[in-house]
Amino acid sequence: MSKILFLLNNQSEITLLDFTNEPPPNNNNDHSAVSTKKLTSIDCQSLSYSFNSTVKVGQQIFIFGSQKEEYENKYFKISIEKKNNNSSINNNDIFECKVIVGDINNNIAGGRAISVCYDGDDYIYLVCGASIANSSYHHRIDRFQLSTAKFEKFFDIKGCVDTDYFSFHYDGAIHSLPVNESILYVIDILTKSTIEYQSEDLFERLIGACIDDNGNIYMYSKCGQFKRFNLKTKEIQPLKENQIEIISNNNSTNNININNNNNNANDKLSLIYCPISNNVNNNNSLRGNIYLMGGRKFKNYKYSIEDNNWTPFFQDDESERSNCGSCFITL
C-alpha cells in the first residue's frame, strides 16, 4: 500500500508525494520522490481556489465549484491508479490520473470556496460558498449522494457569517469554522439543529484547518499561531507556533507572518492530517503528522503531533499552492 500526499497547484497540476517508506523524523526531504501530472483537460485556473473544496472518498478525490465562472457549477472527480508495484514514483508514468467533470444540478448553487466534508458513508456536504456572478455568499448546506451522483438541498443556515469556511464531519454533525470570525457552527445532521459555539480562544483569521481521527481540529492562524480544538470537550490548546517564510518575486526571503503582508491577506493554505497508525476512538493516542503546504511562496512544513514540533520539508517545491486543495490518500 502506498501513502500519498495529493497536492494541487495554481498551474492546474497534481503533485504526488510518496510517504510509503517514511524516513527518520526531522528529515527535510520527507518524501521518497515527486510525480507531477498535468490536468490538460481542465482550464489552468479552474482548481486554484480549492483549499476547502477538496475531499477524498477512498481512492478518489472530489472538488466542487471553481473560481472560474465557466466551472462554478461543475464538480471534478479525480481517480489515481498505480500502474505497477514499483515503490518509486520517479517515473511519472507509474501513476495514472483520470478526471471526470460533472454538473452541480437539481438547482443546487455552485460557486467558489464551497466548504465540503464527507460523512464516511454516502454523502458529501457542501457548506456555504460564494457566487461568482454577484460575489454574494450562500447560507446553505446541500449534499451530494455518491451512490446516485445526485445533488439535493439539505438545510439553510440562517444568520451565518459571510466568509469562507473550513468544514468537518464528526460524530453525526457538521462542524464549520468561518475564516474571519471566532465561532464554530455545529449542525446536527439528524435534527438539522444549529449550535453556535463562541470562544476568544478561536481564531478570528484562519489560514488553514484540518481534523484528525479523534475529533481534534488543528487550526493555523494568519499570525502564525497554532491550536488544537477538541470537539467533544471543547478544550482549546495552544501548540508550537511556526513562522512562515514569505518568498518575494525576486526570491528574497522575509521572516514575517502572513498577516503582515497586505498582498497575502486572502491566502489560505492546505493543512493535511496524516495518521501514523490507526488511532480511531483512542483519545489518549495523539500521533500523526500535519503538513502545511505553502509551495514556493510560503514553503512547506511538517508538524509532529507527538513531538509538538515543526520541521521544513519539500523545500525545493517550485509550485504556487496558495488557496489550493490537498489531501492524504492510500493506493
Number of Cβ within 10 Å of residue 106's Cβ equals 11
Cβ atoms of residues 293 and 326 within 8 Å: yes
Could you state, in order of their start, the residue ranges of all structural domains in the chain?
A: 3-330
DSSP character at residue 1: -
Looking at residue 141, its pLDDT comes to 97
| CATH topology (fold) of 3-330 | Neuraminidase (2.120.10)
pLDDT digits (tens, 9 = 90+) for 19-73: 776 654 444 555 555 666 666 556 556 777 899 999 999 989 999 999 888 899 9
What confidence score (pLDDT) does residue 279 get? 44
Buried b (16+ CB within 10 A) or exposed e, 258-293: bbeeeebeebbbbbbbbbeeebeeeeebebbbbbbb
The whole-number pLDDT of residue 114 equals 96
pTM over 0.85: yes
- Four-residue CA torsion sign, 324, 289, 216, 1: positive
Instruction: Give the Cα separation of 287 and 308 in Å (integer).
Output: 10
Specify which residues 18 forms β-bridges with: 4
Give per-10-residue mean pLDDT for the chain (331 aa). Answer: 86 81 52 59 69 95 92 92 59 72 94 96 97 88 97 91 94 96 95 94 92 96 92 95 65 47 68 75 70 93 94 89 92 81
Q: Is 229 exposed, middle or buried (0-12, 13-18, 19+ CB in 10 A)?
A: buried
The predicted structure's pLDDT at residue 42: 60
Beta strand ranges found along 180-305 (DSSP E): 183-188, 194-198, 206-211, 216-221, 226-230, 236-239, 246-247, 253-254, 270-274, 289-293, 300-304
In 3D, which of 158, 126, 159, 104 has the Cα closest to residue 55?
126
